[in-house]
């Protein structure tokens, strides 16, 4: 499935062993989740630049070079973005140590861990929830961008109005011979501006 077929972001997967990678990719694709697989550091770097919704990786794939690529990506994310990292841990690994190492490598990142073998329902539910949260993040980003644009437009209009008022003031002041005449003429001009 192509990422453009879904309103949800796509899933980036990384697993060093072909069987794990193919199984994970097939599982996600069969359940309607757009997925792309990175098989090396260069491919991971290129795919991260395209902005996946979530990275799903087996802990075996996380060598020091991969950890650094992901760390740089997380640091450079826009402020609205928080790409979660789903790590699939083997039962035999010391899980507390792996979690501590990854937390140190990726401080302040959102990390979710699943112990393999993980049930299909549990993994799919977790990833779909993550992708829905990413969709909400993008909605918030879009709202913020619209609000910023509206504020810019409002600031521009206010500046134009103030420039018009200043111009009206100067023209009225030049023609007025008394304070009362100035006040009446200025009030009339402001009323005409307000009607426009």
Average pLDDT over residues 161-184: 88
Nearest to 186 by CA among 195, 196, 170, 80: 170
Could you give the CA distance from residue 115 to residue 130 in angstroms, rounded to a whole number? 18
**Quick one: CA dihedral 69, 70, 72, 77, positive or negative?**
positive
pLDDT at 114: 92
Q: How many CA atoms lie within 13 A of 58 on its CB side?
A: 22
pTM for the whole structure: 0.71
pLDDT at 4: 46
Q: Dihedrals φ, ψ of 34, to 5°? A: -65, 130
Q: Alpha helices, DSSP H only, in 77-119?
A: 95-105
């Amino acid at each position: 499935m192509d990422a453009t077929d879904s309103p949800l972001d796509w899933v980036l997967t990384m697993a060093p062993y072909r069987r794990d990678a193919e199984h994970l990719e097939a599982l996600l694709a069969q359940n309607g989740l757009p997925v792309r697989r990175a098989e090396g550091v260069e491919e991971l770097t290129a795919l991260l630049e395209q902005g996946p919704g979530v990275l799903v990786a087996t802990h075996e794939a996380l060598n020091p070079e991969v950890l650094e690529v992901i760390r740089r990506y997380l640091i450079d994310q826009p402020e609205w973005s928080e790409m979660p990292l789903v790590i699939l841990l083997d039962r035999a690994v010391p899980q507390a140590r792996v979690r501590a190492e990854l937390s140190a490598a990726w401080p302040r990142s959102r990390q979710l861990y699943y112990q393999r073998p993980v049930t299909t329902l549990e993994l799919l539910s977790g990833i779909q929830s993550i992708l829905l949260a990413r969709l909400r993040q993008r909605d918030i980003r879009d709202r913020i961008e619209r609000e910023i644009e509206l504020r810019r437009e409002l600031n521009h209009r206010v500046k134009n109005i103030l420039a018009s008022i200043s111009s009206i003031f100067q023209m009225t002041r030049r023609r007025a011979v008394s304070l009362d005449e100035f006040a009446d003429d200025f009030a009339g001009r402001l009323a005409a501006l307000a009607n426009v």
